[in-house]
Structure 1
Amino acid sequence: THTLEVSRIARTICRALRLNEDLAEAAAYGHDLGHTPFGHAGEAALTDMMGTPFHHNEQSLRVVDKLERDGDGLNLTYEVRMAILGHTGSRIPETLEGQVVRTSDRIAYINHDIDDAIRAGILSESDIPREIADVLGSSHSARINTLVENMIANTQNTGVLSMQPEVAAAMDSLRSFMFDRVYTNPVAKGEESKAKDIMRKLFDYYYTHPDKLPEDFIPQLDFDGISRTICDYIAGMTDKYAIYKYSEIFIPTAWQVR
Structure 2
Amino acid sequence: MSVREMLENREREILSEKAARSSESKGRVRSENSCEIRTDFQRDRDRIIHSKAFRRLKHKTQVFISPMGDHYRTRLTHTLEVAQIARTIARSLCLNEDLTEAIALGHDLGHTPFGHMGERVLNEICPTGFKHNEQSLRVVDVLEGGGGLNLTYEVRDGIVCHTGAKRADTLEGRIVAVADKIAYVNHDIDDSIRGGLLSENDIPKEFSDVLGNRHSARIDTMIKAAISGSEHDIVMEHDIVMEPDIYDAMMGLRQFLFDNVYLNKNAEVATEEDKAKNIIEGLYSRFVNDIDLIPADARNNSRTDDNSIIAMDYIAGMSDPFAIARYEELFIPKFWVN
**1:256, distance to aligned residue in structure 2 (A):** 8.6
What do the CA deviations read for 1:108-134 (whole angstroms, capped 9, x no partner)?
111121123223321112211122112
How much has 1:75 moved relative to structure 2? 1.3
Of stretches 44-53 and 91-100 in structure 1, the one that deviates more from structure 2 is 44-53
Identity of aligned residues (%): 54
Q: Specify the alignment match of 1:165 in structure 2.
A: 244
Cross-structure match for 2:165: 90
Aligned counterparts of 2:88 and 2:180: Cα–Cα separation in 1: 13
Q: CA deviation at 1:16?
A: 0.5
1:80 equivalent among 152, 155, 167: 155
1:115-156 CA-partner distances (Å, limit 9, x unpaired): 232233211122111221121122222211111112112323
CA distance in 2: counterparts of 1:223 and 1:163, whole angstroms = 42
Deviation at 1:203, TM superposition (A): 0.9
Offset of 1:42 from its aligned partner? 1.1
Inter-partner Cα distance in structure 2 for 1:241 and 1:126: 38
Summarize the alignment of residues 56-205 of structure 1 with structure 2, pairs less than 5 Å apart.
Answer: 56-71=132-147, 73-156=148-231, 159=234, 161-187=240-266, 188-205=269-286
Q: Deviations over 1:76-111 (max 9, x none)?
A: 111111100100011011111010000000111111
Structure whose residues are more often helix by fraction: 1
**Whole-angstrom distance in 2 between the partners of 1:124 and 1:251:** 39
Q: Which amino acid aligns with 1:4?
A: L
Q: For structure 1, which segment, 43-52 or 172-181, has the greater mean C-alpha deviation from structure 2 after superposition?
A: 43-52
Counterparts of 2:186 and 2:92, CA distance in 1: 22
Moved more, 151-160 or 90-99: 151-160
TM-score (norm 2): 0.70
Q: Secondary structure, in 3 states, of the residue corresponding to 1:121? A: coil
Change (3 A) 1:237 1:257: closer
User: Does 2:128 match 1:49?
Assistant: no
Q: What is the distance in 2 between the residues matched to 1:155 and 1:222? A: 41
Q: Which residue of structure 1 aligns with residue 69 of structure 2?
A: none
Is 2:304 the partner of 1:223?
yes
CA distance in 2, matches of 1:29, 1:222: 25
Which SS does the other structure have where 1:36 is aligned? coil
Q: What's the CA shift for 1:2? A: 0.5
Point out where structure 2 has 5 or more consecutive residues left out of the alignment.
Answer: 1-76
- Matched with 2:10 is none
Preserved CA contact (<8 Å) 2:143 2:301: no
State the AA in 1 paired with 2:95.
Answer: L
